[in-house]
Structure 1
Amino acid sequence: MNKMTQRKSVILLSCIALLCCIGGAQAQQNSVSVSPVSIDAKVKRGASYTQTFTLTNNTGTRLRFKCSVSDVWYDEGNKRVTGRPGTLPHSASLWVQFSPAEIDVEPGSSASVKAIVTVPQTAAGGYYSVPIFEALPVDPVLASATIAKVSTAKASIGVRFKGLMMFTTLNASEYNVEIMGGHISPPSASAELAMQLDVRNRGNAHARLHGSYAILNSSGALVGRGAIKETRYLPDQRKMLEAGWAGELSPGKYTAVITVSYDRVGMEPATLLYELPLIVQ
């Protein structure tokens, strides 16, 4: 093995050692964490809101956390996309300032940073931002106790955490969730019963939809039931709300009665009722 290969091998092993040190090797009970991960806050227009984040360093290395934000939205395929602050719809990123924006956390300890959110008077509805916390060693580690130190090698490995901040104004939030249509497939030997609702959120704030369904036979008797897992819809987002049922149905005519509910800031929860006919051959 030549010297260049040896040097590359030591750098690689050093990187692996550092990842084990700051990347959360459970066997050694080393971890780096940020909490909370998700924020869903109700805010007043023209006022400020403060959210505290706890940065925990359970490694043997002093870490420097750098705090920043980015925009978040969805594309035509409902895939999550991010962008520079202030470039995507319903952005809250320009409202957010971290105090401090950079902080060192000693090994085996925690520290707090505050996100100070200044809500414009003109804000109405839901707004979103991704908080980013990047942890890097203050003193870069090039070798572990079992690896020879190589003074000419340099390695920089960090851990990046991304969360989600959602804000809804207490006033001027509008809710209008519609079920555009639906489809139901009967159970078979290879697949369970599947329900899909085409749902669109025409409001200016996000809605968390959840619900239940009941399957009735032609006589109106209950033959099956289940729950619909919570799904979040951002403003003007349209996507399928799905549920399944693993039971069996005899040939005949059935009706799936579906109830979907969501909370509304400053108002009573809203409930939607939808029925899907089903024929089992």
Structure 2
Amino acid sequence: MKIISSRSLAAFSLITLITLLLGWSRVALAEVMNFTVSPTVVNFETTQGTSKIFELSFYNQGKEPLRIKASIKKMELDVSGVPMLSKGGSGKHDWSSFVSVDPLSFKALPGKPQKVKVVIKSPRGRVGGGYFAVAFDAIPLKKKKRKVRGRQGITLGGQITTLFIGEVPRTGKRKGVIQNAKLVESDAAYSKNNPLGLEVMLANSGTTHLRAEGSVVLRSRSEKGKVVGRFPLKGGSGLILPKGERLFRGEWRDVWRQRGKKLIAEVRLFYSGGSVRKRYPLTIP
């Protein structure tokens, strides 16, 4: 098969954006809100049929009280590792329907932490990994209407989440599969300032999550496999949920030294409990 041409989460503050509705007689003027939740990611192990309790801390860093509403969400990741939240379903690895949150709604006063209890009753008969998220939607407790040059303003809200990454130990498997590898298209010739870019898609066909990291080794086809270069593949935390995919990217800055050469690109990706490799022929123009 030939190569064809063609982000660790941390605690953070969320500031609402000002949205301008062009062509309308009104504009949206957002109240500035600043709040955090800790932790933002919970990694845990559990046993079938048991309960686990977690405590989250919501903190209003702003100057005005907020009205908070919590909800439990199904959690998936896109190929860049960005969480995608939706209403819970019946998927094998969606544990959102086995979770309760207390309180579900509360008033967050400035400078005063609010404790939130999350309880998961680990489902029987489920193996491998299980995932969900707790989302906190916030709006100012007192909605203030303002006028901006004669136009009425409206207050916007914001959202922050905690992601839960769980596993029933020794019941699942991790299995990475390289789906494809492709060069990043470039109209200019390769040079010191225009490196070769490579994108590799890794899928997880197992039943629990994996965290991968990788590299690429370049070998000469005319010099008995001599190594002529190598570079790392980066994919943020490298976390891939079951049936999910992750895009890894890398750059080879010394490609200009191999103009006109025929090479073999050996893609290597490693994760706990396994690794996967794949070779691709590569001709440098």
Give the shorter-chain TM-score range: 0.7 to 0.9
* Equivalent position to 1:257, from 237, 244, 266: 266
| Structure with max Cα Rg | 1
TM-score normalised to structure 2 length: 0.72
Structure 2 Cα separation of the partners of residues 157 and 256 of structure 1: 50
User: SS at the partner of 1:174?
Assistant: coil
Contact 2:64–2:109 under 8 Å retained in 1: yes
Residues 1:232 and 2:239 are matched in the alignment = yes
Q: Which has the higher contact order (CA 8 A, sep 6+)?
A: 2
Residue identity opposite 2:266 in structure 1: V
C-alpha deviation, 1:44, in angstroms: 2.2
Residue identity opposite 2:233 in structure 1: I
User: SS at the partner of 1:19?
Assistant: coil
Determine the structure 1 residue equivalent to 2:31.
19
C-alpha deviation, 1:112, in angstroms: 2.1
Structure 1 residues 275 and 154: alpha-carbon distance in aligned structure 2, compared to 1, 3 A threshold: closer
C-alpha deviation, 1:89, in angstroms: 5.2
Contact 1:213–1:257 under 8 Å retained in 2: yes
* Equivalent position to 2:136, from 133, 137, 149: 133
Structure 1 Cα separation of the partners of residues 261 and 154 of structure 2: 67
Determine the structure 2 residue equivalent to 1:5.
none
Contact 2:78–2:246 under 8 Å retained in 1: no
C-alpha deviation, 1:126, in angstroms: 1.8
Residues 165-198 of structure 1, C-alpha deviation per residue, up to 9 Å, x if partnerless? 2222113112222235544579862653233445
* Equivalent position to 2:278, from 269, 274, 278: 274
User: SS at the partner of 2:113?
Assistant: strand
Determine the structure 1 residue equivalent to 2:157.
158
Structure 2 Cα separation of the partners of residues 255 and 185 of structure 1: 17
Structure 1: runs of 5+ lacking an equivalent:
1-7, 23-30, 264-268
C-alpha deviation, 1:49, in angstroms: 2.3
Structure 1 residues 125 and 93: alpha-carbon distance in aligned structure 2, compared to 1, 3 A threshold: same
Residue identity opposite 1:195 in structure 2: L
Residues 81-124 of structure 1, C-alpha deviation per residue, up to 9 Å, x if partnerless? 54322355521111211122222221123222121111112121
Residue identity opposite 2:189 in structure 1: A
Determine the structure 1 residue equivalent to 2:104.
101
Structure 2 Cα separation of the partners of residues 133 and 69 of structure 1: 9
Structure 1 residues 271 and 68: alpha-carbon distance in aligned structure 2, compared to 1, 3 A threshold: same
Q: Relative to total residues, which structure has the larger helix share, 1 or 2?
A: 1
| Superposition RMSD in Å | 3.5
Residues 227-249 of structure 1, C-alpha deviation per residue, up to 9 Å, x if partnerless? 11233332223565443323223
Determine the structure 2 residue equivalent to 1:25.
none
Residues 176-229 of structure 1, C-alpha deviation per residue, up to 9 Å, x if partnerless? 222355445798626532334453322111222211222233434433222112
How many residues are aligned here?
Answer: 248
Contact 2:128–2:167 under 8 Å retained in 1: yes
* Residues 24-63 of structure 1: pairs in structure 2 closer than 5 A: 31-63=34-66
User: SS at the partner of 1:122?
Assistant: coil
Contact 1:175–1:205 under 8 Å retained in 2: yes
